Structure 1
Amino acid sequence: MLTLFGFAMVITFMTLIMTKRLSALIALIVIPVLFGIASGFTSQLGPMIMSGITKLAPTGVMLMFAILYFALMIDSGLFDPPVRLILKMVKGDPLRISVGTAALALIVSLDGDGATTYMICVSAMLPLYSRIGMSPRIMAGLIIMAGGIMNMTPWGGPTARAASALHVDPSDVFVPMIPAMAVGCIALLGMAWFYGLRERARLGVLQLDDAPENHTEVTVSQYPEARRPKLILVNGLLTLCLMAALIGGVLPLPVLFMLAFSIAMIINYPCLKMQKERIAAHAGNILAVVGLIFAAGVFTGVLSGTGMVEAMSKSLLAVIPEEMGPYLAVVTALVSMPFTFFMSNDAFYYGILPVLTEAASHYGISAVEMARASIVGQPVHLLSPLVPSTYLLVGLAKIELGDLQRFALKLATLICLFILGAALLTGVFPLVGH
């Protein structure tokens, strides 16, 4: 009976959010409560839900301060010099423009906000593409694939969802994946080089004599009053220290981002009024992400507390061929591509991943290893018609979604396979369970 209730709950949740009858935030709260009552756990729902929320509190805190920190760095102008350098170097060479587009997108998408990345990168690069005569599909494809790779950071969303769904530490998911992500970045730059060569052969190298020699006015900050050009070196050093501490595991991720944000705010905006303005400017994005994480605590708390996820995994084990069981980590990495393309991240991470993970545990594959495997498909995910920000990109680039998908889908799949191969080689998750 618990198996039936569990699958019915997951299917109902996925159907409601995919048909847009309910938002993911509301569905994550309401659906598990209704099914918890229907399955006879009314008196135990409170402790189950509070247990789920308590386990996810550190993830919510980490996301809140990570988003604030990177938003603050963008506002202050930390990323302006590399952007200007890229624009200065590309000039009229299609090869440089193509590689520069990928490099720019990788830098800007560090903040985990796809819409901001698309607006900044397209506004910076589209005039060059139009002037040279390069295909804007290449630009859009490189930008969205860069966003897919950097979406695997804990503050990007999917990693936090995977960690919250499986109740594991986001840093334990993300840090070991950094080498595999680096391989994905190298693969993307290689693709940019290949298509840049093709465009150079088609168009040649143009001399843009009337182009500005410097790009001192170019900025990725959307708030001119918040820029702090004199503090770029200080902010850069602070960010490097933060990344080193993150990789070294000096302190838990939430603590690191809380401290880094506080120091950055004091250095850049000592005035209380400006501090309030900076927080208010990004409050909407923070509320949407953090609210979703705490709502997920309700869903995962009920799913595990009632025993539904365990019952569902046993049913899944019964239908999975015995020889496939030890390969569930790799299977999860592979199916994350089509699954997150045809359904939302919320549906995959909160509906399907916990069941796969419980089944994988019988083969000695840990929850954190399954969480790492589940984020491999993110470069493909962003090309899904279910991702709202993708429509912003095609609108800004003045191309059709179908054209972008035809160009980038095969390349994004290839990047995912590079990331998968690198992850297996570095032992991030096992090819075969124990």
Structure 2
Amino acid sequence: MLAITGLVSVLALLILILTKKMSPLVALIAVPITAALISGAGLKTATFVVKGIGSVAPVVGMFIFAILYFGIVSDAGMLDPIINRILRAVGGRPTRILMGTALLALLIHLDGSGAVCFLVTVPAMLPVYERLNMDKRLLTCMAALGAGINFLPWSGVMIRASVALHLPAIEIFTPLIGAQIVGVVFMLLTAYVLGKREERRLGLVHDGAVFVVPTRELSEQELALRRPKMFWPNLCLTVLVMGTMISGKVEPVVMFMIGTVIALFLNYPNADEQRARVDAHARAALMMAGVLLAAGAFTGVMSGTGMLNAMANAAVHFIPADHATHIPFIMGLISMPLSLVFDPDSFYFGILPVVANAAHQLGVPSIQVAQAAILGQMTTGFPVSPLTPATFLLVGLAGLELSEHQKFAIPFLFGASVVMTVACVFLGVFSF
């Protein structure tokens, strides 16, 4: 009963968000609470909600202060010279801009944190897209692809798979390097094709080797906020905040809190100016913070009631035992869509051990099941999953609706997962 209730809840959530029948905030709160009450959780539901909110509190705090920080340094004009240099480097061509976005996300995601990757990539590239009037869905799609195909031995999913199956992470990862390279090629080809399509949509004029790049005219209000003399202090502060955050020495939320305070004193020392800058960006920060807290409530209720574990156990029975050799390949194909249904803990600690053990008993190495799962489950799948706060962080920073991002990005992320799965077959990682 719990498995059915959980499945209906997840499907209802996806349908309500994708069809825009409810806003993500409302759906993420209403659906799990209703499901919990139906399943008999009663007043314990409140405990599950609070526990779920507590699990995402650091991410919410990081998001709020990240929005304030980047808003302040953007108002001060720190990004203007950077944007101009990027535009000169890429020549204002969407194909190059998309490739640059994907490669930037790929590099930033070396630390294995999707939230950090999106916090760096989106604010850096969003003004470029806005300057050229490019579709912002391209930005979130390319950032998602770059982060999704970059699964490393120290990433969360790899560690979970390693712990769940008691296998060294490096042994799981090393055979996947070839497939990962194929994924990078797929990412760049996707960026090129989408970039060409965007060039046609925008009707960009091509004169020889140079595209005409539109110039940006600042309003009087924007000019009044600019602090050109503070470019280098702001840039050094940003590098310090980002570097310390990526190093893991200090929690991201703490770094952004400190960075916000310093940025305000550097650029707007007057108390009234400081209040004005906070007020200017508070609405966007608080709106998405509400969605992130709601996402925490959703996962808290689904985990606390046992619905996630029940769905994990029920899913195992659908695997045909007489087709054991196909298990890794099938797992690779469905791993990305499963990210929309299962959070990483319920999958890697619930489904994966059972499937891997069943496969092992039938003569298929457990490590192959783990490798197949990593090709999509919360790798290419996490940037579109409503079960991960990073998804809401990505769309919030870009100013998009979740449904817009999902409809556009899911085919390309699923395509990357399928291509890497097929590559594994050809490279001999596992059989068809």
TM-score by length of 2: 0.61
For residue 64 of structure 1, report the CA deviation from its aligned partner: 1.2
Please list, as runs of the form range in 1=range in 2, the aligned pairs for 1:80-229 lying within 5 A after superposition.
80-87=80-87, 97-98=93-94, 101-102=97-98, 120-121=127-128, 124-125=131-132, 140=135, 144-150=137-143, 187=188, 191=192, 205=208, 223-229=222-228
Decide which of 372, 375, 382 is 1:375's aligned counterpart: 382
Structure 1 distance, partners of 2:353, 2:273, is 49
Return the alpha-carbon distance in structure 2 between the equivalents of residues 153 and 359 of structure 1.
26
CA 1:374–1:263 in structure 2 vs 1: closer, same or farther (change >3 Å)?
same
Give the counterpart letter for 1:360 in structure 2: L
Hey, what's the Cα distance between the residues in 1 that align with 2:138 and 2:58?
Answer: 29
Distance 1:221 1:59, change over 3 A: farther
Distance 1:34 1:44, change over 3 A: same
Which letter does structure 2 place at the counterpart of 1:191? Y
> How far apart, in 2, do the equivalents of 1:370 and 1:60 lie?
24
CA contact under 8 A between 1:50 and 1:298: conserved in structure 2? yes
Quote the Cα distance in structure 1 between the aligned partners of 2:145 and 2:68. Answer: 18
- Report the CA distance between 1:375 and its aligned residue: 3.1
Q: Which residue of structure 1 aligns with residue 111 of structure 2? A: none
Q: Which residue in the other structure is 1:16 paired with? A: 16
1:267 equivalenced with 2:248 (yes/no): no
Deviation (angstroms), 1:224: 3.2
Amino acid aligned to 1:150? A
| Distance verdict in 2 for CA 1:205–1:56, change over 3 Å | same
1:49 aligns with 2:59: no
Change (3 A) 1:102 1:68: same
Code of the aligned partner of 2:337: V
Cα 1:115–1:80 change in 2 (3 A) is closer
CA distance in 1, matches of 2:27, 2:285: 19
Match of 2:286?
Answer: 287
Q: Which amino acid aligns with 2:381?
A: S
Which letter does structure 1 place at the counterpart of 2:4?
A: L
Structure 2: where are the runs of 5+ without partners? 106-116, 148-155, 161-172, 357-365, 386-390
Q: Deviations over 1:188-231 (max 9, x none)?
A: 798389959x99xx9651899xx99x96x656998333221111
CA 1:235–1:6 in structure 2 vs 1: closer, same or farther (change >3 Å)?
A: same
Residue 234 to residue 389, structure 1, CA distance change in 2 (3 Å): same
Q: Give RMSD over aligned pairs.
A: 5.3
- Distance change (3 Å), C-alpha of 1:41 and 1:81: same
The count of corresponding residues between Structure 1 and Structure 2 is 347
How far did residue 85 of structure 1 move?
3.1
- Structure 2 match to 1:32: 32
In structure 2, which of residues 334, 337, 342 is the aligned counterpart of residue 335 of structure 1? 337
Letter in 1 for 2:8: A
| Residue matched to 1:237 | 236
AA partner of residue 250 (structure 1): K
Instruction: Kindly provide the CA deviation profile for residues 333-361 of structure 1, in whole angstroms up to 9, marking residues without a partner as x.
Output: 6438xxxxxxxxxxx65x44466453235
Q: 1:110 to 1:80 in 2, by over 3 A?
A: farther
Local SS of the residue matching 1:35: helix
Q: 1:74 touches 1:221 (CA, 8 Å); kept in 2?
A: no
**Unpaired segments ≥5 residues, structure 1:** 127-138, 155-162, 168-175, 337-347, 394-401, 425-430
Cα 1:285–1:325, aligned 2, differ >3 Å: closer, same or farther?
A: farther
Distance 1:413 1:40, change over 3 A: closer
1:77-108: CA deviations, max 9, x gaps? 111112223455677xxxx6456644787799
Match of 2:150 in 1: none
Which has the higher mean CA deviation after the structures are superposed, 97-106 or 227-236? 97-106
**Does structure 1 conserve the Cα–Cα contact (< 8 Å) formed by 2:336 and 2:379?**
no
- Aligned partner of 1:130 in structure 2 is none
Q: Which residue of the partner structure matches residue 345 of structure 1?
A: none
Q: What per-residue deviation string (whole Å, max 9, x for no partner) do you get for residues 249-303 of structure 1?
A: 1112222222222222221222221222222212222122111111122221111
Q: Select 2:351's aligned residue among 341, 349, 359.
A: 359
Q: Deviations over 1:290-334 (max 9, x none)?
A: 111111222211111111111111111111346466578844664
Q: For 1:282, what is the secondary structure of its paired residue?
A: helix
What SS does structure 2 have at the residue aligned with 1:42? coil
Q: TM-score, normalised by structure 1?
A: 0.61
Name the structure 2 match of 1:309: 308
Take 2:210 and 2:27, find their aligned partners in 1: how far apart are those partners? 56
Alpha-carbon distance in 2 for matches of 1:193, 1:300:
34
Secondary structure of 2:379's aligned partner: helix
2:78 partner SS: coil
Question: Quick one: distance in 2 between partners of 1:207 and 1:27?
Answer: 47
CA contact (8 A) 2:76 2:267 kept: yes
Q: Matched residues in 2 for 1:419 and 1:76: separation?
A: 43
Query: Any idea what SS the aligned residue of 1:20 has?
Result: coil
357-366 vs 302-311, which deviates more?
A: 357-366
Q: Which amino acid aligns with 1:374?
A: G
